[in-house]
Structure 1
Amino acid sequence: MEKRVPEHGPALSEKQRRHWQDTYQRLPGMYGDEPSAAAVHAAQAFRARGAAQVLELGAGHGRDSLYFARSGFRVHASDFSSAGMAQLRQAARAAGAAESVTVEVHDVRRPLPLGDGSVDAVFAHMLLCMALSTEEILGIAAEVGRVLRPGGVFVYTVRHTGDAHYGHGLAHGDDIFEHGGFAVHFFSRHLVETVAGGWKLEEVHPFEEGELPRRLWRITQTKPS
Structure 2
Amino acid sequence: MDKNILNQQSQHWETNFSNKPEMFGLDHSYSAEKTLSVLKENNLSNIVELGAGLGRDTIFFGKNSINVTALDYSKKGISIIDKKINDQNLNSSIRTLKFDVRKKLPFKDNSIEACYSHMLYCMALTNLELINLNNEVKRILKPGGLNIYTVRNTEDGDFKKGAHRGEDLYEIDGFIIHFFSKDKINSLLDGFENLFIEKFDEGKFPRKLYLVCNKKI
Segments of 5+ residues of structure 1 without an aligned counterpart are 1-6
TM-score with structure 1 setting the length? 0.94
89, 100, 103: which is aligned to 1:110? 103
AA matched with 1:45: V
Segments of 5+ residues of structure 2 without an aligned counterpart are none
Question: What residue number does 1:55 align with?
Answer: 48
Question: What residue number does 1:92 align with?
Answer: 85
> Does the 8 A contact of 2:194 with 2:215 survive in 1?
yes
118, 123, 141: which is aligned to 2:116? 123
Corresponding residue pairs, total: 217
Matched, 1:66 2:59: yes
66, 69, 76: which is aligned to 1:76? 69
Query: Following TM superposition, by how much is the alpha carbon of 1:198 offset from its aligned partner in structure 2, in angstroms?
Result: 2.2
Which moves more between the two structures, 122-131 or 160-169? 160-169
What is the distance in 1 between the residues matched to 2:51 and 2:35?
Answer: 15
Matched, 1:187 2:187: no
What is the distance in 1 between the residues matched to 2:153 and 2:25?
Answer: 24
What is the distance in 2 between the residues matched to 1:221 and 1:66?
Answer: 23
Secondary structure class of the residue paired with 2:107: coil
Matched, 1:209 2:196: no
Matched, 1:8 2:2: yes
> Does the 8 A contact of 1:12 with 1:131 survive in 2?
no
What is the distance in 2 between the residues matched to 1:124 and 1:53?
Answer: 14
Secondary structure class of the residue paired with 1:173: coil
TM-score with structure 2 setting the length? 0.97
Secondary structure class of the residue paired with 1:90: helix
What is the distance in 2 between the residues matched to 1:151 and 1:160?
Answer: 26
Question: What residue number does 2:31 align with?
Answer: 38
> Does the 8 A contact of 2:52 with 2:70 survive in 1?
yes
What is the distance in 2 between the residues matched to 1:70 and 1:8?
Answer: 41
Cα RMSD (Å) of the superposition? 1.0
Query: Following TM superposition, by how much is the alpha carbon of 1:189 offset from its aligned partner in structure 2, in angstroms?
Result: 1.3
